Amino acid sequence: MVKPKIAPSMLSSDFSNLASEAERMLQCGADWLHMDIMDGHFVPNLTIGAPVIESLRKHTKAYLDCHLMVTNPLDYVKPLGKAGASGFTFHIEASKDNWKELVQLIKSKGMTPGVSLKPGTPIEDLYPLLEDENPVELVLVMTVEPGFGGQKFMPEMMDKVRTLRKNYPSLDIEVDGGLGPSTIDMAASAGANCIVAGSSVFGASDPAQVISLLRKSVEDSQKTS
Ligand code: DX5
Ligand code: ZN
């Protein structure tokens, strides 16, 4: 059975205190730290890049789950590998022509390859990447339009999660956008096991409680499925 992974999105953290925010999340029970890398082109927002990952890596051994919302993901593989990223999840919309090369390069740099899709992109677009002899190891289903934290969860994306889980029982399936105590049961029962949560965790008075609630929902759904 796939393991539940709770990944607070550091986009909602206090960036001026990134190392201590990361440590705080790990103390609160986070499994992964979700790092949103945006280039101001693929999405209308600009966040962090390899230099920040490199700085953070000096302060933590945690799994850095990097979500690349960039137009040219290939350009980021070497710098992020060197910086100490753990997972490298690119968007299919930005890699239609070079995903094979991307996956190979990501693996050769010691990172775990993942692919993400925007709400308007059909799940079928991912099948070649999952069926390849060198497949991606994680699928990140966006449950908001990528670019910003604090948006409303799109329940209609759960059909994608259900379809994926049915076809790939041991795949890491991640959801990202609007996840929190009021939406987690929809994602967990659909079959998601990796849960990204930004504003619901960082905005909580007790983040540890939110993280454990998210985990429990995934565990409970796995027991009954
Ligand atoms: C949005 C990012 C998310 C974002 C999630 O494009 O990919 O990771 O930080 O934030 P919340 O949980 O607040 O929707
Ligand atoms: Zn993200």
Integer CA distances (angstroms), 12 to 83, 87, 149, 196, 200, in order: 21, 19, 7, 11, 9
CA–centroid distance, residue 216 to ligand 1 (Å): 21
Catalytic pick among 36, 39, 65, 172: 36
CA–centroid distance, residue 133 to ligand 1 (Å): 31
pLDDT at position 45 is 98
The verdict on the CB of residue 147 being under 6 Å from ligand 1 is yes
User: Please, what is the Cα angle at 157 between 32 and 6, to 5 degrees?
Assistant: 15
The number of the ligand nearest the C-alpha atom of 204 reads: 1
pLDDT at position 225 is 83
The verdict on the CB of residue 8 being under 6 Å from ligand 1 is no
pLDDT at position 107 is 98
pLDDT at position 152 is 98
92 close to 68: Cβ distance less than 8 angstroms: no
**Cα–Cα distance for residue pair 206/202, rounded to 1 Å:** 9
Active site residue 176: yes
pLDDT at position 186 is 98
Catalytic pick among 39, 65, 172, 176: 176
176 close to 67: Cβ distance less than 8 angstroms: yes
3-state secondary structure of 107: helix
Q: Which of 11, 47, 48, 90 for a ligand 1 pocket mutation test, highest count of atoms within 8 Å of Cβ?
A: 11
Walking along the chain (225 residues) 10 residues at a time, the average pLDDT comes out as: 97 98 98 98 98 98 99 98 99 98 98 98 98 98 98 98 98 99 98 98 98 98 93
The verdict on the CB of residue 21 being under 6 Å from ligand 1 is no
Active site residue 159: no
The number of the ligand nearest the C-alpha atom of 10 reads: 1
